[in-house]
Amino acid sequence: MGGLRERKKAETRAALSWAAIRLTVARGFDNVLVDDIAQAVGVSPRTFNNYFSSKAEAIASRHLDRSLRTAQALRLRPADEPLWTALIEAVLAQFAPGPEVEQSPPGAHAEWVDGLRVMLAEPALQGEMLRAGAVAEAELAAAVAERTGTDLRRDLYPHLVAASVSAAVNAAMRHFVRADPPIPIERLLPDALAQLAAGLPAPTPR
């Protein structure tokens, strides 16, 4: 019974977040109210406030949840797999189309892409994105520490790895938004992470 309740809560949280993204993409951030988001999901504004403190948090939660799953995926990778191979696979698994099949509406990946553009461009969302990024980075550092036998309080290494991965993902997402002609995020991410794993060698002159 407890498992079903938790699943329902997760589904409601995801539905509210997707609704916030859809409405913001369609109307603009300033033209969306909490009441609108709640109504789109068929719940009360009070229920919305049980999950999120603001519409900005609701929108950013897609990014946060996806990032937190990276740490979970890293913990599940084979123990004998090289760290950077495991990290790359853990990150890419979260950006494959439809990773949240049970919780996502049709076209969820395309909606997330639209939401990403909003998240990166809307000043009112940037503080929430920074907070979400810090939470996710701390969780990834913990997973890296477990995998490498390092200590979060004594060792810089797990924090440096997590910060580097976070920076590479953010750089890939921003390049995805501005690239002309467009480059699929599924191509940008492995490229960014592979360059990082190789020590960021200088690019070959064109």
> pLDDT for 159-205, tens place per residue?
999 999 999 998 998 888 787 787 888 889 999 999 998 887 777 76
Total count of domains within the chain: 1
Residue span of the structural domain in which 182 resides: 56-197
Residue 176 lies in a domain: yes
Q: Are 122 and 182 in contact (CB under 8 A)?
A: no
Residue 65 lies in a domain: yes
User: pTM for the whole thing?
Assistant: 0.80
CB atoms within 10 A of CB 98: 11
Residue 94 lies in a domain: yes
Residue 48 lies in a domain: no
Residue count of the chain, please give it.
206
What is the C-alpha to C-alpha distance for residues 140 and 201, in angstroms, rounded to an integer?
24
Task: Quick: pLDDT tens for 67-106.
Answer: 899 999 999 999 999 999 999 999 998 877 554 434 445 5
Q: What's the CATH code of the domain at 186?
A: 1.10.357.10
Task: Quick: pLDDT tens for 31-61.
Answer: 999 999 999 999 999 999 999 999 999 988 8
Task: Quick: pLDDT tens for 101-137.
Answer: 344 455 555 665 666 677 677 888 888 888 999 999 9
Residue 134 lies in a domain: yes
What is the C-alpha to C-alpha distance for residues 34 and 55, in angstroms, rounded to an integer?
6
Return the pLDDT at 106: 52
Residue 132 lies in a domain: yes
3-state SS assignment for residue 97:
coil
Tell me which residue of 8, 106, 103, 14 sits closest to 63, measured CA to CA: 14
**Given a cut of 70, is residue 2 above it in pLDDT?**
no
Residue 25 lies in a domain: no
Residue 60 lies in a domain: yes
